[in-house]
Amino acid sequence: MQDHEGREKIILITGGSRGIGAATARAAAAEGYAVCISFLRNEQAANGIVRQIVDAGGRAMAVRADVGSESDVCSLFEKLEAELGTLTALVNNAGILEQHMRLDAMDAARLARVFNTNIIGSFLCAREAVKRMSTNYGGRGGAIVNLSSAASRLGSPNEYIDYAASKGAIDTMTLGLAKEVAAEGIRVNAVRPGVIYTDIHASGGEPDRVDRVKSAVPMQRGGHPEEVAKSILWLLSDQSSYSTGALLDISGGR
């Protein structure tokens, strides 16, 4: 399917093998995007998403890449371009969190892991997308959506303030990059999900965290990956053509 300028819509979703990334991949394919997802470890899950899209008549590919590695990111974009064509949309979704703990129990290695994936990874992928989309480089524009978190506002005390801080950096990067490339045909926005039913909570040591904290959500429930995916697709679409630098909370009012 083509965009309003007649280009094929081609999307990269980092960390697209599970949770919000996988839901976004399926939703994008349903809207006519050719889809590339990156994954780090779970090749079986990534290939399963690709199969679902291809079986439904779409185009999709999966590439193993550590977004915190500059060489991996460059290779990821090159493989996407070689197989699918010119990128028109990026979803910076890849992110990690680690075991619940207070700051006074965290070591530098943990901080480096979280910040490398969540911050540097998003910067590197956005950089490569800008080089392909920006009219300054001969591109024809595009859209970027960064995955932040309601944690950037709430701080996640006693759980993972390192993760929350990394998402605060994503908020700031979104605002700055949006202004930096606004005149070059690129829109940059972010979504800030609240507590969503995904398996990332198991990484923090509490698979059932959503059910524990949902009573603190004004809507009294956790969110679903598909609800976040719909918001991401809206921000990528021409329906949000005058929105850039927006931080969209998808958090049930929390």
Query: Assign residue 33 a region: left if phi > 0, alpha if psi is -120 to 50, beta otherwise?
Result: beta
Residue 143: beta bridge partners?
A: 89, 187
Q: Report CA 144 to chain centroid distance, whole Å.
A: 9
Residue 240: how many CB atoms within 10 A of its CB? Answer: 18
Asked if 33 is an active-site residue, the reply is no
Nearest residue to 97 via CA among 118, 128, 81, 75? 118
Residue with token string 């759980």? 159
> Which residues are CB-neighbours of 226 under 8 A, at least 6 positions away?
23, 27
DSSP label at residue 119:
I
Please give the Cα distance from 179 to 64 (Å, whole number): 31
From 137, 160, 163, 242, active-site residue = 163
User: Which residues carry out catalysis?
Assistant: 163
